[in-house]
Each structure stands twice: as C-alpha cells, then as structure tokens.
Amino acid sequence: MELPGGNDHVHLNAYKPTVETNGKATSSSPLEESGYYGYFGGRFSVASSQAESTMTTYETLDAPPHYDFYANTEVWGRRRRFRPSLYQLYANPEDDSKPPLYEETPMQHLDRGETTDEDDEEEQGEPPAEPTRFGWVQGVMIRCMLNIWGVILFLRLPWITAQAGIGLTWVIILLSSTITGITGLSTSAIATNGKVKGGGTYFLISRSLGPELGGSIGLIFAFANAVAVAMHTVGFAETVTDLMSEHGAVMVDKLNDIRIIGVITVTCLLGISLAGMAWESKAQVVFFLVIMVSFASYIVGTIIPASPQKQAKGFFSYRADIFAQNFVPGWRGKEGSFFGMFSIFFPSATGILAGANISGDLKNPTVAIPKGTLLAIFFTTMSYLIISATIGSCVLRDASGVLNDTLTASSNPESCVGLGCQYGWDFSECIQNGTCTYGIMNYYQSMSLVAAFAPLITAGIFGATLSSALACLVSAPKVFQCLCKDRLYPLIGFFGKGYGKNDEPLRGYLLTYVIAACFILIGELNTIAPIISNFFLCSYTLINFSCFHASITNSPGWRPSFRFYNKWLSLLGAVCCVVIMFLLTWWAALIAFGIVFFLLGYTLYKKPAVNWGSSVQASSYSIALNQCVGLNQVEDHVKNYRPQCLVLTGPPSSRPALVDLVSCFTKSLSLMMCANVISGPDASVVQRETSEKHVTWLNHRKVKSFYRGVVSSDLRTGVNMLMQGAGLGRIKPNVLLLGFKTSWRSDSPQAAHDYIGILHDAFALQYGVCVLRMKEGLDISKQPQAHINPVFDEGPETACSTLSRSELRPSTVSTISSSPEPQLTTGFQKKQAKKTIDVYWLCDDGGLILLLPYLLTRRKRWSRCKVRVFVGGLPDKKEEQKQEVLALIKKFRLGFHDVEVLPDIYQNPQPMNVQLFENMVAQYRKDMNLQQDCGPTRVCDGPWMITEQDWERNKAKTLREIRLNEILQDYSREAALILVTMPVGRRGVCPSALYLAWLDFISHDLRPPVLLVRGNQENVLTFYCQ
C-alpha cells in the first residue's frame, strides 16, 4: 500500500479504520476491493463504535481481539467476524494469485453460506424463540437439594441417630458431605474450564477424560437415572399404600397396589416433563416449598410441649439428659455398626449432579454449577445435622406407646429401667423384652410424631420422592441425548433428536418412561438399588479423577476459573468413592466396574473419530516426552539395537510395497518414519495440505509409522535435512531405506548423481542403507503428481522415460487431490508361501543383513519362510568355512541352520554379461564420448562420467558384481526375498554412474524382491550377555 503524499507530511488519520454507522461504512479503502477490508479493515472493536471512532491507528488487516475469533457459534442478528489469516497479512495485496488451500478467507466463509450486508437486510426477520434458561437458584441449587433430600431423611435418619448416637451420626453426615463436597469442588473446576453445553455429567467426564471413559459412564449414568425414577416412584407408592392400609383401603393387594400407583405416578411425571422444562421447574419449586413447610412443622413441633400421647411414644421435647444418652452409640441388630449405618445413609447424600445434568438449560453453567451445587451441599448437610441433633434431643430410643405405662406411687423406682423413669414413665417391660414399638430406635415415623402437624411430614415425604423421581426423569434423557449425538455406540442415534426451542429429547423421555415402568412392575428393587448407588459413585469417582488427571498433566488448556480445588484432594475423593462402593455392596461394585470396563474396551476398539482435547491426550504427550528425555540417560548397547528406519517413500500411498516391507520388521519394535521431500515454489503449501492425508493413509493401513515431509530446493538437500533432523533424542533413525532408481539411464545425469550422493551422505552420517528393488517397480501412481519428487523410484524397469528436473516443479496448488488415497494390496501384506529368504552375506557390515531376516521371520506372515545364508569361500575349504559360519550364527541365536558356501563366486562372469554391463554404462564412458555431440540433457564432463582410469581401477569389483548377478540367477530364482550385501563405491574414486550400474546389475532381471543392505560397519549383533 502506497503512502499518500502531500507537502512531505504523512497524516496518520488517513489510515484510521473505517467506522460503521448503522451497518454502513463511512469511508472506503482500496482494500475493500479485495473483499478483505470489508471484514477486517474497520469492523472490529473491543468496546463500542464510539470507542472505535476515537482509536487512531494504521489502516491494516490486523484486528483487535474479539469474541467471534474464538467462538464456534454465531449470534443471531450479527454477522460473524473472522480473524485475518497469516497469508492475508504477509501476502502482497497486488498479487492476484489465489490464497493457499488451507487458508480460510472471508470470501470463502461467504461461499459456505455466510451472508453479506445486503443479504442481512433482506433475510433478517423475527429472531428465533429464546429457549427457557434457569439461573443458579432454580436451575441448580433447588434441584440438587431436592435430589439430595429423600426418604432416608424422613424415615431413616432418626433410626440412624438411635443406632450410632448423635456424635457418630454427625461423623457419618460430615464424612458423606466431605466426599460429596470434594466431588462438588471437582465438578466446579471441570465445569469452569470452558463453555459447558448440554449433557451434564457425561459431557463433563467425556470432554475431560475422553470418549472412552466418558461414553461408558454416560451410558450407565443415564440408565441409573432411569431406574432411579422407578426407585423413587416405588418409595412414593409404598407410602401411599401404607396410608391406604391404615384406613382399610386396598385395590388388589399390596404389591399390585404399588405397581398401579407407581405406573400412574410416573405417567403423571412424564406429562410434566413433556410439557417442557418451564413446567418441570415450576413443579420442582412446589415440591421444594412443600418440603420446607414440612421442615418448619417439624422444628415447631420440637418446641411445643409434649402431650401425654406423645410422651407415651417417647417424645419429651428438648431434654439435656435425653441428648446425653442419645449422643453415644446404641448398636443393635446385624446392621448395628458404623459402616453399616454409613452404607445406609450415604445414598441420601448423593444427587449433587442433578443441576449439572441439565447444563444445557442453564443461563450460565460455569457460574451456576459451582455456586448452586456447593450451596446445595452446604444447606442439605446443615439440615441433616440439625434434624439429627434435634430428634436425638427430644425422643427416647425406646417407648411402648401405652398410656398406662406411667409410674405410680406403688411402683418400685429401682426396678424401673430407662430414661423414661425420670419423666414418670415406665417402659421397662418392653425394653427388657425388646418389644417396644416406639422411640427413634423402633418407630421410623418419629419425625411425624414430633411434628406440629403430622400430615405435613407425609407431604414432605411425597415431595422428596416425587421431586427426586422428576429430577431423574429429566436428567436421564438429557445425558442420553448428548451421548446419542456423539454417536459413540451403535443403534442409539435415534434417541438423540431434539424438539422445540429447548431441544427437548422427547424420544429419550419415552425411553426413560418405559425403563422406569418396567422396573416399577418388577416391584422388588432391593437388589437393583445397590447397583444404582454404585453407578452414581462410579460417576463421582471419575469426576474426581478427571479433575486430578487434568491437573497432574500440567496441560496449558487446563485453566478453570474456579480456583478452590486441589488435585490431591480430588484424588482422595476418587479413592474414597471406590472404597465406599465396596463397603456398600462389593458384588454391586464389581458389576459396575465390569460394565464400565466392557464399554471402555468397546470404545477403545472402535476408536470413535472425535477429538475433544481430553486430559488423556495431554497425559500421553507428557508421558512420551518424559520417556524420551529419560532415554538421554540410557547409553546405547548392542543388545538393545533396533533398526530405526527412515523410509524415503515420498507420499506413502505411492510406494505401498516399500511401506509394507519396512513395517514387517519395525511394527511394535522400532521407529519407522516415512519421509517425503517436496520441491517447487508452493511446496510449503503442499506439505501442509497433504501431511494429515498421508498420516490417515498410514493409520488406515495399520502401519505404525510417523510421516515427515520437508520442503527443499532439491532431493539430496531435503534427504540430508531429514537424516540430520529427523527423530527426537535417542529415538532417531539409524537406517535409511529407499527404492532403487530404475530409470537412472533415461533421467538426467544430475538426478542419478544426486541419488548416489544420498547414499554417500547416509554413509557419512553413520546410517545403515537399504535399497529395495522389485521387478514390477515400487511407484504405483499412474501419473506422478507435480509435488512428488520421483527420484526415490521411477516405477517399472521397462519405463523408457520419466520427468526431467524441470518437470518436478509444481505448477499450481490446485493439483492437490482431496479424495482418499487408495489402499492397494501388495505381496508383503500376504502370508508368504513356504519359500526361502536368501541372505548373501558376502561382506561383514556389523550384522544388519542377518538381523533384518530374523525380524521378518518373527512375523506370522513370514514364519513359513526358511532363511538361507550364502557366503563366499574357497573350493578346498568349503566345509570348514561352512562350519565356521554356522558356529558364528549359532552364537547369535538367530535360528538359521542353512548355510551355503559359494566357491564359484570368484570366477569370471560370462562374456555376454560383461558386454551387457558395458552397454549399460557406455553413454557414461568419457573416453568413448569424446567425439560425440553432448545434447542439452547430457553433460559429458561431470562427476558421473567414467574415465578409462576409473574403469581400470574398479574393473575387478565390476566383474565381481556381474558374477554376483549370475549367482543370484542360479540360486535364488524362487526365493521370497533376496538380501544382498550392498557394495560401497569410494567417493571420488568410483563415479556415480559406475556405482549405480553396479547396484543395477546386481539386482537385474530377478523375479523376487531384492533388498541391498549395508550396515554402518558397527555391530548390531552380539553373542555376549553384557
């Protein structure tokens, strides 16, 4: 952009961003012509347009921070803003070339459906209906308190107080609340680490620990909530049935009456749920008010002086001596123990996730969930403590309920037993006989006895059971809907559909209703109840562990705004939840963990295509990093040598045979890295665009390999970069594998020279080198793509032409294909027949040529192949040399027993083969080409040219390589694989064309695949144990 000139002054106001007025820009800019400035030039502000108008800065595409840049959703009535890409910032605005494919430009967003200003004016209509959203009081606190309060509060807490005493009952309450409080803190931390959507407990765990554990917990948690609807409904039905029996009203019998009342009740609750969250929330408020009135009736009743009828049942209002006697334990029966009482009470402390389960219906979940959940735990804990202390201060443990059991003047005070004697009541007979029917030890309805108006306690029981049932009836479909939408499990996607402005899971409601009705019809839930409690505890365990795990991984993404948590406290909470699961019912705990592990195994096997940035991913990185750093302290030892392979595949899909062979001896054993060198003006674009596609191809092929692409001006430089820079610490390649360049005679001499230069560079960097040649070629791509450097392998040996160096330069980025790369089957993927793997161990390079076939035969598909080792020798010492080699191989414990000595390897080759070799290199013989006209593609004076001196100096080695091909033709025509010691040509002594001709002729006209192997002359095998 040119600077405006005028009187040699530069006015910064000329660069002030455009200010919008009523959606229209008040000034224009040349940048608007490109379509960028309309989105970036003046449409960003962190405050208001007034603040924007006062801001003075250069006119630039750089945008100040804005919410839209980080959000995944759009706000109705306002076009979403997009951050300018790096390409748009650094590219020349006068350049008309298209941006890279990976760049997201504003105009591309428009093409995908974003609207312009004119479209906004035409299409802007009525805003969508705002769904019902709840605050922290109505949405979380009241809902959690109602779910925590239950039948145990009204019917079992007085009995627990009688058994454990006020002191230990407080310990039980506080211990339970501590565990749920720790879980509440962990839930608050997770819920404030990012924007929370619908799905409740499942959403929190799955987005923190990943789909494996999150999916399993989501499924069983939704099922547990559905069955809990039946449990709470049956509790309500039993209370109604008892009231009916007291008045002599029976429909059929007690069991069938419970079924009938239960089904009718759950149907009514379903109607409230289907009416919408607004009606459901109003019903919860009504239940909450009923329970609060029942509490008030109870507290008032403790203050009112006791009537004779109530005194006969053990109620005497507040008495210090009653408090003192009930403060200590009074264990009775088989359940009379601390852990027995704890196991009965703890389920009443659960229900803290009722608010989190409707996270999608909260106005601000990150504020509502922590605040509402923790306050609900606090208030319910206080209510339990108060009721335990007051009931234990007012009511005796045992009373007969008979008005005539009073002390008279004729009664003997010494024979009177119990605290009632001090208040003029003699309950000695029932205490001694164990027949007392009243008192907090015997009468479960003690709160009704104490209350000022007993029916209000019954109403409180109704409110507690129905509110808990309604909360579970809403929670189960909400959690299940989110699980269905994630599609982690088959056949459940049908229930994920939502309806209405609140996206209500109506199908989920009906499914929950059917499950609840089925369990209500069973009627006997005593066996199911422990399993459900353990399912809830499983959820608490994983929530605490999620918080601990996210904290311990030190992931930068773990930044909860709720700071009042501790990772070790969360771990303690998780351990306590597991212990409590086994204390409650050990067999139910085993069932719960069995189901979790089964679903976990299924998810691990299916590997769903989701990426939520879980703490498991963060921990995997941390573990891998620590292990890699730890390897720096481990010294290399020959016993631990592994062939860590850098495979020059180009795009892996173009040379699947090379990938499959290397994978056979590196899978689950050592490092494999597929490498690609990309050249051209837009090579970096191609590299970024295709990397993920290549990794996906490797994963689909089940090849455990990394992929690394580099951008370089030429192949040799790129490979050198890879050899020096690939790897991490001690996990770095030590063997270079590449395909043989079959088209070296038809390609440019420089390309062939670079190919040999790669081998020399590998030797200089202490790499082992392997070159694979197949008769049908390695490159299966029908036509080489512009960005693929084809020097690794040029396809079938019959190819007579290939791309020149000038043709390697990509023309445009549009040549990149987004279609999936083919998965073609190669011979190395099939189970090999009973053939041989022939190893020509002609020169000792450290043992790499022996180690590779050993690793191959460990694979199932190669296990039927027999390894034969061929060595050179003398005719008169053939048997002796064979025994020496066998003894050496035996010490290596490789299991090779077939050794052949080749005394004829040192004979002269056939003249026709010598002539064939001379014809192969004739065009590179310098003395023979002196009188020839060297065209533009042939350079007669280069390091690849063979002088007469070079020819004579390397003649003996040349004849040996020609003779080696004859040996291979004679002995290994039917082999499954041939491994040959690769000769080494001296740099500066052996011209590159001659060296390449050696490699070509050794593997010439052989049907089996040939692998030329050369170690780095250091031992990779040892027969020592230290």
Task: Give one DSSP letter per residue of 674-731, joined into a string.
Answer: EEEEE-STTHHHHHHHHHHHHHHHHHHTT---EEEEEE-SSHHHHHHHHHHH-SBTTB
Res. 980: pLDDT tops 90: yes
Task: Report the pLDDT value the prediction gives residue 410, as an integer from 0 to 100.
Answer: 62
Contact indicator for 988, 749 with CB cutoff of 8 Å: no
- Using an 8 Å Cβ cutoff, are 842 and 871 in contact? yes
Q: Which residue has the higher pLDDT, 982 or 943?
A: 982
Sheet holding 706-711, edge to edge: 706-711, 672-678, 645-648, 735-739, 768-773, 1010-1014, 977-981, 836-840, 866-872, 898-902
pLDDT in tens, 868-891: 999 998 888 888 999 999 999 999
Burial class of 73 by CB neighbour count within 10 A (0 to 12, 13 to 18, 19+): exposed
Q: Residue 354: what pLDDT?
A: 82
Average pLDDT over residues 781-796: 44
pTM over 0.75: no
- Checking if the pLDDT of 34 tops 50, the result is no
Residues 258, 922: Cα–Cα separation, whole Å = 102
Which pLDDT value is given to residue 77?
63
804-816 mean pLDDT: 35
Query: Which range has the worst mean pLDDT, 207-216, 500-509, 780-789, 995-1004?
Result: 780-789
Length of the chain counted residue by residue: 1026
Region 330-353: what's the mean pLDDT?
A: 83
Assigned token pair, 100: 């890279």
129: left (phi over 0), alpha (psi -120 to 50) or beta: beta
Q: What percent of the chain has pLDDT over 90?
A: 29
Work out the average pLDDT over 7-28.
40
Q: Please report the pLDDT score of residue 778 as a whole number.
A: 79
Q: What is the DSSP string of 374-414?
A: HHHHHHHHHHHHHHHHHHHHHB-S-B---TT-B--TTS-GG
Neighbours of 894 (CB within 10 A): 18
The 10s digit of each residue's pLDDT in 676-690 is 998 876 666 666 657
966 or 416: which carries more pLDDT confidence?
Answer: 966
pLDDT for the residue numbered 524: 62
Strand 20-21, strand 706-711: pairing: unpaired
Most trustworthy range by pLDDT among 416-420, 574-578, 814-818: 574-578
Q: Which pLDDT tens digit goes with each residue over 463-479?
A: 888 888 888 888 888 88
Q: Which of 381-395, 814-828, 897-911 has the lowest mean pLDDT?
A: 814-828
Q: Is residue 696's pLDDT more than 60?
A: yes
pLDDT for 977 equals 94
**Cα distance between residue 455 and residue 351, in whole Å:** 26
Query: What is d(CA 767, CA 1014) in angstroms, rounded to the nearest whole number?
Result: 9
pLDDT of residue 1014: 94
Name the DSSP letter for residue 141. Answer: I
pLDDT attached to residue 810? 34
Those residues with Cβ within 8 angstroms of residue 600's Cβ, 6 or more apart along the chain or in another chain: 212, 213, 216
The pair of structure tokens assigned to 581 is: 């699961």
Q: Is the pLDDT of residue 20 over 60?
A: no
The answer, yes or no, to whether residue 801 has pLDDT greater than 70, is: no
Of the pLDDT bands very low, low, confident and very high (cuts 50, 70, 90), residue 733 is: very high
Give residue-wise pLDDT tens across range 36-83: 333 333 433 333 344 344 444 445 677 788 777 777 666 666 677 778
Helix 454-486, helix 211-246: angle, nearest 10: 150
Alpha helices, H only, 553-609:
567-584, 586-606
Closest CA to 38 of 25, 49, 52, 51: 25
Least confident of 459-473, 760-774, 926-940: 926-940
How much is the pLDDT for 2? 39
Per-residue model confidence (pLDDT) at position 837:
94
* Segment of 219-228, 774-783, 910-919 carrying the highest mean pLDDT: 910-919
What integer pLDDT is reported at residue 968 of this predicted model? 93
The residues with which 839 forms a beta bridge, in sequence order, are 869, 979
pLDDT higher at 57 or 415: 415
Q: What is the mean pLDDT of the chain?
A: 80
- The pLDDT tens digits for 222-280 are 888 888 888 888 888 888 888 888 777 888 888 888 889 999 999 999 988 888 777 87
pLDDT value at position 190? 87
**pLDDT value at residue 604:** 83
| Res. 101: pLDDT tops 80 | no
Q: What is the model's pLDDT at position 114?
A: 43
User: What is the signed CA dihedral for 95, 101, 106, 110, rounded to 10 degrees?
Assistant: 120
Give the contacts of 68 (CB within 8 A, at least 6 positions apart): 80, 81, 82
- Name the nearest CA neighbour of 654 among 722, 739, 715, 724: 739
Q: What pLDDT does 815 receive? A: 40
Residue 129: what pLDDT?
Answer: 61
Whether 673 shows a pLDDT value over 70: the answer reads: yes
What distance separates the 2 farthest-apart alpha carbons in the chain? Answer: 149
